[in-house]
Amino acid sequence: MKEHINIHITGKVKQMDFPYYSQLFVQKLDVNGFVQNGSETKAYVEAEGSPEDLQKLVDFYKTGPLSKIIEDMSFEKGDFVDYKKFSVKKEKLPGTEKKGFFSRFKKKSK
């Protein structure tokens, strides 16, 4: 039976191209879902697969080459969505966008 997990990662994810290596690794597994970068220090993964494959993914983050850049990781079970593939979401996580210096000077509409 397939399960769903949500993984929250904090670390130097931007430096190591976290989404690319995540997608490369899950090609070896029967895992679907997505990976999404937030800021330079946050990433989010939703993954679905067998408990064994999901454990391999978590172990990869804990002990694989990405473990050097991961400072903190938490995960919880989520609702099954039935993703058909594993993909990289290009948009950033909500609330992690950097605001430019000049954005503070924009006029607010009344």
Instruction: List, in order of start, the domains of the chain with CATH numbers.
Output: 3-90 (3.30.70.100)
Q: How confident is the model at residue 13 (pLDDT cuts 50, 70, 90)?
A: confident
Q: What is d(CA 92, CA 80) in angstroms, rounded to the nearest whole number?
A: 22
**By C-alpha distance, which of 93, 94, 97 is closest to 36?**
93
Mean pLDDT of the chain: 85
| Distant-in-sequence, close-in-space partners of 92: CB < 8 Å, separation ≥ 6 | 36, 37, 38, 39
Helix (H) or strand (E) holding 20: helix 18-26
Q: DSSP state, 2? A: -
β-pair partners for 32: 48
- The pLDDT tens digits of the residues spanning 74-97 come to 999 999 999 999 999 887 666 655
Task: Give pLDDT tens digits for 58-79.
Answer: 999 999 888 988 999 999 999 9
Distances (CA, A) of 104 to 92, 96, 99, 100, 109: 21, 16, 8, 8, 13
Residue 18 pLDDT greater than 60, yes or no: yes
Between residues 20 and 107, which one has the greater pLDDT? Answer: 20
Of the ranges 4-8, 35-39, 53-57, which one carries the lowest mean pLDDT score?
A: 35-39
Per DSSP, the three-state class of 76 is strand
pLDDT-derived band at 37, boundaries 50, 70, 90: confident
d(CA 19, CA 104): 31
Residue 16 — pLDDT band, cuts 50, 70, 90?
A: confident
